[in-house]
Copies of this chain bind each other. A is one copy, B any other.
Amino acid sequence: MAVSEFDVIQRYFQPSRPTRADVHLGIGDDCALLSVPAGQQLAVSIDTLVENVHFLAGCDPEALGHKSLAVNLSDLAAMGAEPAWATLALTLPRVDEMWLSAFAKGFFSLAGRYGVALVGGDTTQGPLSITVQVHGFVAPDRALRRDGAKFGDLIAVTGSLGDAGLALLTDYHRHDESEYLKARLERPTPRVDAGLALAGVASAAIDISDGLLADLGHICERSGVGAEIATNQLPLSPAVKEYIKNRADWSLPLTAGDDYELCFTVPAERQLLAENQLRGRGCELTWIGVIDQAPGVRCRNEKGNKLTLGTAGYAHFR
């Protein structure tokens, strides 16, 4: 790519957007210069989305701009951190101004909602991929780590599970569900407000990017505990409920990723506090199980039967 073409790209990411008082120097120097508030820790997370691995070629660039920031903000949410800044490393096969304009619109629209300033970036030529790093603040004793779950803690999730997975099964769902499911897959809402409300309340948290069983499994592993969840308690949209009924397959809410809801644990004496904290934050809280001492994550249905993961990827009870 010629230098002049890079100038075009930079035009979309170096705008006269409102910035933040803690950004002393933004895009355009060797480094950005930033201030972390006194007494706060800096929380950082980096994630890459690769074409045809994390998203399909030709997908809506505005949704992609949203999602590339959303999946990172979701990591800050899972830490109970307040979002502050982002950096963006964008690798593009060619300069397509329509694409760049739409991508930037999706990115900055979500950034603006959470007061996030873009403070640095790099644009290179190559196969399409997007790396974003987010930076946020959290008080040392309030961070929602994965390793704090204790025996007897209650397990909860935000929102509903399995929608993004169902969106990918385009042959299955009905047309009247497709807009809802597509939005859940392509424009996930990072649970930033919920994470902030749970900081100092929940004992452990993670965002569900790999599926509930895997991600709750990470909490258990890091905390040295186990978990049992009741599948009849799982929060499900009507579309996912119907899929499970038709297929007798619980894979979607248990193993499908990309929902970007939070899964967290709460000491029993703080159950009401957690409920109060999440009220009015724009997402439901649902209690789905309890932390115990047996290894791994186990699921039971309302009859007490144990879940089995079939070889074909189906999850059913016996």
Contacts and interface: CB of A to CB of B under 8 A. Distances in A.
B127 A127 contact: yes
A31 interface: yes
Interface in A30-52: 30-36, 38, 41-52
A23 B125 CA distance: 33
A24 B140 contact: yes
B45 A41 contact: no
A129 B50 CA distance: 10
A318 to B, nearest CB: 25
A54 interface: yes
B129 A91 contact: yes
Interface in A90-141: 91, 119-122, 124-127, 129, 131, 133, 135-136, 138, 140
Interface in A72-101: 75-76, 78-79, 81, 87-89, 91
A75 B87 CA distance: 15
A145 interface: yes
A89 B48 contact: yes
Given A38-B38, A129-B129, A44 B120 contact: yes
Interface in A1-46: 24-25, 28-36, 38, 41-46
